[in-house]
Structure 1
Amino acid sequence: MMDPTVPGKIPHESGVDRALDGALFDVPYHVLGYEWSEDGPVLTLLPLAMEGSGLVPDGRHFEIRPVKWREVEFRISRSRHCTGRFEGGEYIPCPLSEEVTLFSQCPSCMSHDIPDPDCIFEPHCNTGSCGASFCRKEHVVYITSFRGHHKVGMTQLERYLTRGREQGADIILPLFVLKDRYSARFMEKEVSRTLKIPQSVRSGVKLRSWSGPLRMSEQRKALERLKERVVSRWKDIVGGMPPSVNIGKGPEGTDIPPAELDYPLEEPLSSPPMRYRKKVLRGEVMGFKGSYMIFRSGGLRAFRMGELPGSVLYFRDRLES
């Protein structure tokens, strides 16, 4: 029987790419997470070492702040493998090191925190508790602005500012408070349907907008007008609401003001950055916004850091933890 405390091996992907000075990218780290804090983005890494034909943990995980980077040069693995899980502050590697695609965890590791992954996007706790603690927390339905492109979303009340930064929004405004995640998702869809506000803004739209003026005052006023529309159409929004939806505070009782979100990136950019999808990344770091690192390499480039968890990064030298 497999020991769940013993990590599996991650396949080592050898590469012929070298650093500009000819050095090999042969110092591997498993990316366990990428998230935003009040001080900017945080990358959680686990040192790895070769064992036979695979990679195994070689020390404790640590956090680095990419905002300190001035130049970057590393190689990214082609495949992604389960990031394991945290329990009581301790890291537990995946015993299988399973390859992953949609999420950064395999179903077994994810089940300890999120028994039913459907609740991430389409919660259904109205038919019975899924066992995930975040589903029972207070949520908000909010609207965000990306240079005048708007979307409606929902998230836990305690992390709405973080959620705005994760998306790279310029400004965020909570509309109303719900008692649980299912209720928030239901009402998010009703606001979208009633007021014709989309639930997403495409990445290309965001990137192209970053070279335009911020005009925060105009964006703030536009969000406030949208909230006024929510108030005026409230009866239509809640008209088909089932009894299982639990509203904590309606739009007139929710007085959280719009929040302007700042980033470690000087805006507006001189030109729209191009998406960068290659597996060797090198260049001058310009800053970070949402999921993206903006860097200069023959022009402005945007690399999606949010896709890194589960990947192995190969550096030429050991990083300072």
Structure 2
Amino acid sequence: MNYQGVLTKMQTEFGNPIQYYLVFADDFLHMNQLLGKDMEITFSGHQCLNCSKSKKIYRQGFCYDCFYSSPAVGDWIMKPELSTAHLGIADRDLDYETRVQLQPHIVYLALSSEVKVGVTRKTQVPTRWIDQGAEKALAIVEVPNRYLAGITEVALKQHFSDKTNWRKMLTNEIVSLDLLSHRHEILDKLPGEVREYFDIDKADLYELQYPVLEYPKKINSLNLDKEASYKGKLMGIKGQYLIFQDGTVFNIRGFEGYKVTIEV
């Protein structure tokens, strides 16, 4: 069967294992059902996720013009400490930024290759951790806006990484560590204005199981700009990556806005 559409990040459902869905405008694939089967991915064009025009994708599924104009990709997305909606100051669109920034945010520790610190909206738990391929995750503090989460992340980056080693994550080279023990050492590292939100007794540890039949020993990334068509046997899904039997991995999120045909 053939499925055609524009790539967006896979939708997920928390479970044991996590369930993955690749959703197009008129159809969807339940990706877990394709494990152990051959599939072919063929690139056929671009469509900006913001303006829907057939323009080359620049970053994050957006064309160049939309990337530098849409409030959905402002600098404060990647750097929460730059958030200003709590001050009533706009970056690109104050209404949009108020809706997104002025809601509960979680600062967390996650174990995807080694321990990392990160920020997400409370509504994105545990989706954010699934998208990162985290094996375990633990909320540190819940704060009322993105700015406070951002300055907390900046402070904790002095002690923990804020990046995932995606190669180790995909080859399952995961350090075995106790996130709860790290949480007990956090309070003195938090900014003063955030310490009131820290509850030492509240510690919900998430453990995530991914649908992977076999992890590769070495990996090679599929780049649709260089290889417009690829066929392989799907052996696993982790984070937003498809893992194939020959060690090829495909980052769905890295190619949002690309039009593809998938044959299964």
**TM-score, normalised to structure 1's length?**
0.67
CA RMSD in angstroms, aligned pairs only: 2.9
Structure 2 residue 153 is matched with structure 1 residue 204: no
Describe how 1:241-280 pairs up with structure 2 within 5 A: 249-252=197-200, 255-266=202-213, 269=215, 271-277=217-223, 278-280=227-229
* Preserved contact between residue 230 and residue 251 of structure 1 (Cα < 8 Å): no
Is the 2:8–2:252 contact (alpha carbons within 8 Å) kept by the matching residues of 1? Answer: no
Flag structure 1 segments of 5+ consecutive residues without an equivalent: 1-25, 47-60, 85-92
Percent of pairs identical after alignment?
18
Q: Secondary structure at the match of 1:184?
A: helix
- 1:137-176 aligned at under 5 Å gives the runs 137-147=103-113, 149-176=114-141
The correspondence for 2:95, drawn from 121, 131, 134, is: 131
CA deviations on 1:135-160 (whole Å, 9 max, x unpaired) are 1110110001125x111001011222
Which residue does the alignment assign to 2:39? 72
**Residues 183 and 247, structure 1, Cα contact 8 Å, conserved in 2:** no
Q: Would you say 1:181 and 2:155 are equivalent positions?
A: no
Paired residue secondary structure (1:134) = helix
Would you say how many aligned residue pairs link Structure 1 and Structure 2? 245
- Residues 20-41 of structure 1 show CA distances to partners (whole Å, capped at 9, x for unaligned) of xxxxxx9853224433233522
Distance (whole Å) between structure 2 residues aligned to residue 185 and residue 37 of structure 1: 27
Contact map agreement 1:34 1:42 (CA 8 A) in 2: yes
| Counterpart amino acid of residue 238 in structure 1 | P
- Could you say which structure has the greater relative contact order, defined with CA pairs below 8 angstroms and 6 or more residues apart? 2
1:180 is displaced (CA, Å) by: 0.8
Correspondent of 1:223 among 179, 194, 208:
179
Displacement of 1:109: 9.5
CA distance in 1, matches of 2:167, 2:216: 16
Helix, strand or coil for the counterpart of 2:127? helix
C-alpha distance after superposition, 1:120-147 (max 9, x if no partner): 1234224425322221110110001125
Spell out, residue by residue over 1:45-97, the C-alpha distance to the aligned partner (whole angstroms, 9 max, x if none): 24xxxxxxxxxxxxxx33322222221012124x633024xxxxxxxx72x33
Give the secondary structure class of the aligned counterpart of 2:167: helix
User: Scaled by the length of structure 2, what TM-score is found?
Assistant: 0.80
1:28, 1:314 within 8 Å by CA — same for their partners in 2? yes
Alignment partner of 1:292 out of 218, 221, 241 = 241
SS in 2 for 1:187: helix
Structure 1 stretches of 4+ with a deviation exceeding 3 A read: 105-112
Q: Which 5+ residue runs of structure 2 have no aligned equivalent?
A: none
Q: In the alignment, does 2:21 pair up with 1:42?
A: yes
CA contact (8 A) 1:141 1:177 kept: yes
Kept in 2, the 8 Å contact 1:115–1:131? The answer is: no
Report if the CA contact (8 A) 2:180-2:203 is conserved: no
Instruction: Report 1:13-162 matches (<5 A).
Output: 28-38=4-14, 40-46=19-25, 61-69=26-34, 70-77=37-44, 80-84=46-50, 94=52, 96-106=53-63, 114=71, 117-122=74-79, 123-125=82-84, 126-127=86-87, 128=89, 130-132=94-96, 133-147=99-113, 149-162=114-127
How many angstroms does 1:100 deviate by? 2.3
> CA offset at residue 272 of structure 1?
3.9
Find the counterpart in structure 1 of residue 260 from structure 2: 313
Q: CA deviation at 1:178?
A: 0.8
Query: How many Å separate the matches in 1 of 2:126 and 2:186?
Result: 21
Deviation at 1:304, TM superposition (A): 1.2
Instruction: Tell me the alpha carbon deviations over residues 189-239 of structure 1, each in whole angstroms, 9 at most, x when there is no partner.
Output: 11112xx2111123223234x1x5x68xx53xx2112111103x24xx324
Query: Greater CA deviation, 117-126 or 131-140?
Result: 117-126
**Offset of residue 115 of structure 1:** 5.8
Q: Distance in 2 between matches of 1:190 and 1:155?
A: 16
Report the structure number with the largest CA radius of gyration. 1
